[in-house]
A and B are shown apart, each in its own frame.
Chain A
Amino acid sequence: MNGVHDMGGMQDMGPVQREENEPVFHERWEGRVYGLVNLMFAWRKWNLDATRYEQEIIPPAEYLRMSYYEKWLASLTGLLVKSGLVTRAEIESGAPAAGSPKATPPVTAESVPAMIARGNPVSRDVPAAARFKAGQHVRARNINPTGHTRLPRYARGKLGTVERDHGVFVFPDTNAHFQGEKPQHLYSVRFAARELWGEQAAPRDAVYVNLWDDHLEPA
């Protein structure tokens, strides 16, 4: 989706504002949201790509206004309802519906370190022929899907060089919509800064983007 989340190359967003000795969380609720998102993920009712898409469909003006953890909260709330884990009425009331069964949480305090260590592997040990190889010239496809994609707008239609084949990974563009993992090769593709931005870019600079087979065509 050509949404406001796809920010690479936009201008006039102001200076990068740094904060000295920044805390991990600025307010208590931010840590709670972070924790809830991670613990609810353990129910395996959705995937990381779906959590990203759920943020991308926040209306653009809201997206720009909201803080990072407000977006996480919106994404979590949306997925909780869509997955059926909670109802909209329960979110609004803040209490379980009368007579609803009580579940057993999949993660306890003792199993938090194991959950973190396990991570979320998205490489797949399945045979999939690589369409491209390191050193090959490629063009990022000119696609404008209305759903989730990890091919940023600024790279579409641009010429690049495959720098490295990372192996077979879940394809986010389908996985985000629960349309299958469609495992395929993932690459680092090098784009010269001048190919992306023209003469204003420094001649030697480059941007490396991770792209999948379905994002690329031979050049």
Chain B
Amino acid sequence: MKTSRRDFIANAGAAAAAMHDLAHAQEPDHEHEHSLVPSDPALRVKSLESLLVEKGLVDPAALDALIDTYEHKIGPRNGAQVVARAWVDPAFKKRLLANGTATIGELGFGGRGGDYLVVVENTPKVHNLIVCTLCSCYPWAVLGLPPVWYKSAAYRSRAVIDPRGVLREFGLDLPQDVEIRVHDSTAELRYLVLPERPAGSEKLSEDELAALVTRDAMIGVANVPLPPGVRP
């Protein structure tokens, strides 16, 4: 199986190279505006998309709509609303920690990349960190699509063996008496960290609190920053 796959990749590369020559001949400058080096995957994807559309397997309007959804509608602002609600509503927080999926569903989030949501709470004594060592599982429904670093070999390999070192690189130096819990996303459960509410945020509204919450805090590589004007 592996041999044929290698051949296949080699063939696909050759086909892409041929495609590139063709594109170069027919569309002189269009593909080359941003880079002098031809982007091989760009050509392969263009060819594949047109094939799948031609065969009636993919609706191009659906493709545009799906991409637009993840570029503009589903992102870390969703998760930030969940966190802010948990900070101001103790009953919501209790439900959230007991049943993440149903409780996050109350705010209208869930489905793809969030069928089974588990919320883990940071406290002064426990700090949670999310990773997927085997691939790049991430709670799309509440955080959108993951940043490149989350999918990198560096993060995937080290988060489990050296979480303290990774956190230090993110600027978080946790004392030894804080227990670090690393959650490796090996199933379809998707984790969201409920960070600690920052000091000095007592008078903020739910919306103002949500604005403070960062994506990195909900992955567990950072704490939520203090509100503007508040000194530690």
Give A residues with C-beta under 8 Å from B: 5-11, 13-19, 22, 24-29, 31-36, 38-40, 43, 48, 52, 55, 57-59, 62, 64, 67-70, 73-74, 76-78, 81, 85-86, 88, 90-96, 100, 102-105, 107-109, 111-113, 115-123, 150-152, 154, 166, 169, 172, 186, 188, 190, 193, 196-197, 201-212
Contact = CB atoms under 8 A, between A and B. Distances in A.
A185 B1 CA distance: 32
B71 A39 contact: no
B110 A92 contact: no
B160 A9 contact: yes
B182 A5 contact: no
A100 B5 CA distance: 25
Interface string B44-61: 111111111011111101
Contacts of A29: 39, 41-42, 45-46
B59 A109 contact: yes
A95 B51 contact: yes
18 contacts: A6-B133, A6-B134, A8-B157, A8-B161, A13-B153, A19-B149, A28-B42, A29-B41, A55-B135, A59-B5, A64-B153, A91-B12, A112-B66, A116-B112, A119-B114, A120-B188, A197-B161, A205-B180
User: Which 6 pairs between the two chains have the least Cβ-Cβ distance?
Assistant: A8-B133, A210-B187, A94-B47, A103-B56, A10-B157, A109-B61
Contacts of B27: none
Given A24-B71, A35-B63, A36-B49, A208 B188 contact: no
B186 A109 contact: no
Contacts of B42: 27-29
A40 to B, nearest CB: 7
B187 to A, nearest CB: 4
A94 B184 contact: no
Interface string B1-21: 110011011011001000100
A93 B114 CA distance: 37
B46 to A, nearest CB: 7
Nearest to A48: B188
B145 A24 contact: yes
A122 to B, nearest CB: 5
A11 B161 CA distance: 9
B134 A210 contact: no
